Amino acid sequence: MRTINILGLQRISPRDLAKVEATDAAIRYVDAAGWFDGEIRETWPEYTANRFLPPDATGQGTREERDRMLAEAEVIVGGWPFPLDLRSRAPQLKWLHQRQAGASNLIGSDLWGSDVVVTTSRGAANPLPIAEYAVAGIMHFAMGLHRAAIDREAGRFDHRAYRSWLLQGKTVCVIGAGGIGQEVGRLCAALGMRVIGTRRQPGGALPEGFSEISGPDQLDALLAAADVVAVCCQWTPETTGLMNHTRFTVMKPGAILVNVARGEIIDENALADALARDRLRGVVLDVYVGEFDHPPPERLWSDPRVLITPHISGWSDAEIHGGVDVFCDNLRAYRERRPLRNVLDWERGY
């Protein structure tokens, strides 16, 4: 049985490493986490490096040693950020697995559109913590909790300004009823909300808690009926700027908007205009355009009706990230020459 050389570029726990090694006795797993930090610091924006790398991290080994690791790799387990020239330095690379749910972070690297098979952790990358974050954001503005900070700044309470909602009976539209979106819908339904949504292929059984699933072409009709809109879809050419001036006009006045997907799905100029016209009750953004390059735009960050966090919705105290489990299942399939799960379609973008 031939050896499969696997290069790990992202740190995984000892438990997850044991899972990988137990999958196949004929694998050689090389842990290179941290080795490329110096290269990443030199090629990525300073904001990105400071966000993701340990302070003063400069990597390990020489350039020749790192090139040798890449040259021997048939399979790579990657994450964010990563060397942008992986494909040219890894001539034997056949497959790369991303521990993230999405693949948009590969744009700009020489992997995008290449002959390398890329799989993602879509549907397994902490969907429950992300869904709980979305529900927390909804409740933050539904209960008017953002008013507490305004009152504290003013030094007095404005009791009548809170205008709390009862979520039971309200309608939430989930844009992208995939792994994360389905969890958002399930939790919202448990609160007594009516759950509708979209997905690329709307046929089949309804996910738990959903009363309606439509295709993307029906989004405008769903937005007009929704008190809450939760953006959970993949960022692709089709979804870039999906929430634009027209969509904010179509939305029910006074709705709450939550984005736990990617910043580029929302036209931020259109969002700022909708806020200026007082079209939205509140906005929850765990993502924004250019989030790995610079801070949020001041016009949104300074608005008390906008809650912005640094892409932390997937973090929790529970070890439930299923990315390595997806990889292990795919590793068995790879050995047996069976189709892999969550293969990236370059044209579709996920």
CATH number of the domain within which 47 lies: 3.40.50.720
pLDDT at 88: 97
Q: How far is 225 from 172, CA to CA, in rounded Å? A: 9
Same domain, 64 and 157: no
Q: How far is 102 from 119, CA to CA, in rounded Å? A: 9
Q: Is 311 labeled as catalytic in the residue annotation?
A: yes
Query: What Cα–Cα distance (Å) separates residue 98 from each residue in 76, 83, 103, 120, 333?
Result: 9, 13, 8, 5, 16
Same domain, 299 and 163: yes
| 348 domain-assigned | no
Q: How many domains does the chain have?
A: 2
pLDDT at 31: 95
The one-digit pLDDT tens for each residue of the chain (350 residues) are 789 999 999 888 899 999 999 998 889 999 999 999 999 999 999 999 998 899 889 999 999 999 999 999 999 999 889 999 999 999 999 999 998 888 888 888 999 999 999 999 988 888 999 999 999 999 999 999 999 999 999 999 999 999 999 999 999 999 999 999 999 999 999 999 999 999 998 888 999 999 999 999 999 999 999 999 999 999 999 999 999 999 999 999 999 999 999 999 999 999 999 999 999 999 999 999 999 889 999 999 999 999 999 999 999 998 788 889 999 999 999 999 999 999 999 888 88
Q: Is 291 labeled as catalytic in the residue annotation?
A: yes
Same domain, 181 and 281: yes
Same domain, 303 and 327: no
Range of the domain at 47: 4-124+321-335
| 190 domain-assigned | yes
Please state whether the peptide bond connecting residue 216 to the residue before it is cis, i.e. omega within 30 degrees of 0: no
pLDDT at 319: 79
Same domain, 119 and 136: no
pLDDT at 47: 92
Same domain, 171 and 112: no
| 237 domain-assigned | yes
Identify the CA nearest to 100 among candidates 80, 115, 83.
80
| 247 domain-assigned | yes
**262, 264, 281, 321: which one is catalytic?**
262
DSSP run (H or E) holding 179: helix 179-190
**39, 183, 264, 291: which one is catalytic?**
291
Q: b/e for 203-238, b at 16 or more Cβ within 10 A?
A: eeeebebbebbbeeeebeebbeebbbbbbbbbbbee
Same domain, 162 and 289: yes
Joined together, the tokens standing for residue 198 give 């979209």
Same domain, 94 and 119: yes
**147, 247, 311, 321: which one is catalytic?**
311
Same domain, 116 and 176: no
Same domain, 47 and 97: yes
| 341 domain-assigned | no
Q: How far is 45 from 292, CA to CA, in rounded Å? A: 8
| 349 domain-assigned | no
Q: Is pTM beyond 0.75 here?
A: yes
| 314 domain-assigned | no
Q: How far is 307 from 302, CA to CA, in rounded Å? A: 9
Q: Is 21 labeled as catalytic in the residue annotation?
A: no
Q: How many Cα atoms sit within 13 Å of 166 on the Cβ side?
A: 3
Joined together, the tokens standing for residue 19 give 């899972």
Q: How far is 149 from 155, CA to CA, in rounded Å? A: 10
| 48 domain-assigned | yes
Same domain, 136 and 277: yes
Same domain, 168 and 296: yes
pLDDT at 349: 81
Facing residues of 306 across strands?
283
Q: How many Cα atoms sit within 13 Å of 278 on the Cβ side?
A: 0
